[in-house]
Chain A
Amino acid sequence: MSGAEWLSYSLQDFVMFGPQVFLRLFVRINQDLWPWQLLAVVAAIGIPVLLLRQGDAARRLALGLVAVAWVTSGYGFLVGYFSPINWPATWFGWAFVAQGALLGAALFCGGVHKGRLPVRQFVVLWLVAVCGLPFLAVADSGQWQSVALFGIAPGTTAAAGALVIALVTGPWRWLYLPLLVLWSLFSAAMFWVLQTWWLLIAPLATLLLVGAGFWLSPRPARSQD
């Protein structure tokens, strides 16, 4: 296809489903998983509790839970529910799984910061992400059953997962970053076409939380010399 022909396509041409069908994905996965999503809620609340303990093992366990959340939202929601109506979702689904594996590898290969984290700010931002963002789908659909939980819905998982940049060291964070940016751009374009304006907040929040992750990252201790 020529460049001019590509220009004749609009974003709408690449979104082959309607908003009703997309928002129903959240309702369906919640109905199918019930009551197991309560575990996701426990994990979402448990992660900041673990971080407040300030221990190395607790921090590693918290990151392990985030890694599992990437895998479950990628394989469960994106591959299992979203890919039948949108083929790029398959790629993103496996990329989410790979992101979880990457975080797991960072845990075992010395990729976790051992420095002191500004925990209070981290916890506040984390709770805003995992408690606020799930209700964007509810605002767009008008249905409580469409709540988009951390560990199940990719948007909430990516946004909260963006904060993890604060906890991984140099090379790992740069490997961790591309999917966050790509997913934000992809989902923002999709929500724009679908005109699901509330959901559009999720990718914007993800990008802001990426910045917050860098900002919260523990600084190397300065030498007194």
Chain B
Amino acid sequence: MANWITRRKFLITSGLAGIALKSPMLFANASGIPTSSPITRRIPGANESIPAIGMGTWITFNVGGDEQLVAQRTRVLKTFFDLGGTVVDGSPMYGSAADVMGEALDSLDAHDRIFAATKIWTGDESETRSEAARSSGRWGVERFDLLQVHNLLGWQGHLETLKQMKANCEVRYIGITTSHGRRHREFAQIMEREPLDFVQLTYNVLDREVEDRLLPLARERGIGVIVNRPFQGGSLFRRFQSKPLPDWAGEAGVNNWAEFFLKYIISHPAVTCAIPATSKVEHMKENMGALYGKLPDDDLRQRMADYVRSL
């Protein structure tokens, strides 16, 4: 039997396609799991790609022994995995966040779904291995995918040990971090001369200093970039959430402010991954929306930055 497309079928199908293009999350199946491909970025110098949206744990996963909140954060992590995320970043500095992450990973039996990144945060440069071991015990992972020197604290000694650990396959990737725009000059010097896989730094639509030096340097040196504070610690929402998105937001693949802020970041060619943190499932869904659909081009990125400045 011939399967003619009637005008009625055509109109319905076209309408649904239009709605789906407007909202990438509608590509999700009945259980909310997206069926389109997530935006991924290749790790420079490695034959591996990671999703461009990851997850931070600063403040949000530090809930101590509160079983009710641990269960809630486990739901946040499950949503993250279900929507295609893998990269989770933590630090021993974040209180109980590592223990909570370990408990959540156990509950979800998700140790094989995570790209586990944490930091070395101690001034004692002989403590690199032991702190990494303590952290892996807390997370319940055999080894970390990425170990980073937190805010350059004792970086010389830690980085030497991390290089040895990478050579011994005790960790897959190594890096350094900064935040809030601190110590960028020293950060650049380390990027210039050390064999880093990743750097982590603060970048968002308002804090754009890294566009001048660090992001171009990362591209030049083949270093992956993880972006922290993509929402400026939540202040971008406090300032702009009551404002309307621009009329042309759809052209940038943006449906809400979370996608606006995140797509601005991950559309920069030097950026590998942004790691927003949240304690709410609904906010996680919004964040992960940025992992799908189209990204703004250079012109649109400039318009996004100009638009936010004009508000």
Contact = CB atoms under 8 A, between A and B. Distances in A.
Interface of A: 5, 8-9, 12-13, 15-18, 20-21, 24-25, 28, 81, 84-87
B233 A16 contact: no
Interface string B81-115: 00000000000011111010000000000000000
List 9 tightest A-B contacts by C-beta distance, closest first: A84-B64, A85-B64, A84-B96, A85-B95, A17-B62, A16-B95, A85-B62, A21-B63, A16-B62
Interface centre among A9, A17, A87 (most CB of B within 10 A): A17
Given A17-B59, A85-B62, 20 more contacts: A5-B183, A8-B181, A8-B182, A12-B233, A16-B62, A16-B93, A16-B94, A16-B95, A18-B59, A18-B60, A21-B62, A21-B63, A24-B63, A24-B66, A24-B68, A25-B66, A28-B66, A84-B96, A84-B99, A86-B95
Contacts of B63: 17, 21, 24, 85
Contact of A84 (B95, B181, B233): B95
B279 interface: yes
A129 B206 CA distance: 45
B203 interface: no
Contacts, number: 51
Contacts of A28: 66
A85 B96 contact: yes
B233 A17 contact: no
Nearest to B153: A1
A9 B183 CA distance: 12
Interface string B257-282: 00000000000000000000001000
Contacts of B180: 8-9, 13
B155 interface: no
Contacts of B59: 15-18
B95 to A, nearest CB: 5
